[in-house]
Structure 1
């Protein structure tokens, strides 16, 4: 669906591309338990707001980025868990198309008293640095 001020070609009245129509590779969401448990055997980085697990999929499997989100009951009640997962989804939506690598699975795990309460800029910085560490950009 395109916003009302955008025509079907993806440009707005000014002639620039509409942000709603810009489409980078959107990550596929992990839904099956076996994908989460497989990713748990891969690399992991713990940051102040969340934990990121990464696993490179074997050759021959589908390409693209896949991402999963999880928050245990330790994070809080359903409202707190959902808020934490919404923030993790937004962080992944912003950062993974830029720094994520095709053929990898990423799992973001929310942390108690941190994911829902840290400033959003801090979560973005944490995600950037976690992906740099996971992909070997810096140690």
Structure 2
């Protein structure tokens, strides 16, 4: 199938690529310099406890297994970031959404950026 992203640098590089958000996930895609089709999965603690996060990662792995071979972008990194609605969402609906997101990425289209959020605890926006 495809290789799995494990290095943090690869995830950070993918974050500079195209971003397509859906209700259950965010898809990041970025060319990787002819290293083949690779994928990574990220689910943060904001989503839930370890049981919920692992369940979501299993669903994402199955989603990618079903969709990437046919619709994935060659020589690109694909990163799925879990969102809170992803665990309850219907699998077939998420599969269709992933295909749509991949088609948008193939066309070079991305969701507009929200801009950079201030870091938590920074004093930049605080009154003095």
TM-score calculated relative to the size of structure 1:
0.75
**Pick aligned residue for 1:55 from 3, 6, 30:** 30
**Pick aligned residue for 1:87 from 59, 80, 83:** 59
RMSD over aligned CA atoms reads 1.5
- Which runs of structure 2 are paired with 1:37-116 in the superposition (5 Å)? 37-58=12-33, 61-62=34-35, 64-112=36-84, 114-116=85-87
For 1:111 and 1:103, how far apart are their aligned partners in 2?
A: 26
For 1:27 and 1:116, how far apart are their aligned partners in 2?
A: 24
For 2:59 and 2:87, how far apart are their aligned partners in 1?
A: 7
Q: Quick check: 1:50–1:111 contact (8 Å CA) kept in 2?
A: yes
For 1:96 and 1:28, how far apart are their aligned partners in 2?
A: 11
Larger Rg: 1
Q: How many residues align?
A: 110
Q: Which residue of 1 aligns with 2:113?
A: none
Q: Which residue of 1 aligns with 2:10?
A: 35
Q: Quick check: 1:87–1:115 contact (8 Å CA) kept in 2?
A: no
Residue 129 (str. 1) matches residue 100 (str. 2): yes
TM-score calculated relative to the size of structure 2:
0.82
Q: Which stretches in structure 1 are left out of the alignment for 5+ residues?
A: 1-25
State the shift of 1:101 in Å: 2.0
Q: Would you identify which runs of 4 or more consecutive aligned residues in structure 1 move more than 6 Å?
A: none
State the shift of 1:138 in Å: 8.0
Cα deviation, 1:9-57, whole Å, max 9, x if unaligned, reads xxxxxxxxxxxxxxxxx11010000000000000010001100000011
Q: Which has the higher contact order (CA 8 A, sep 6+)?
A: 2
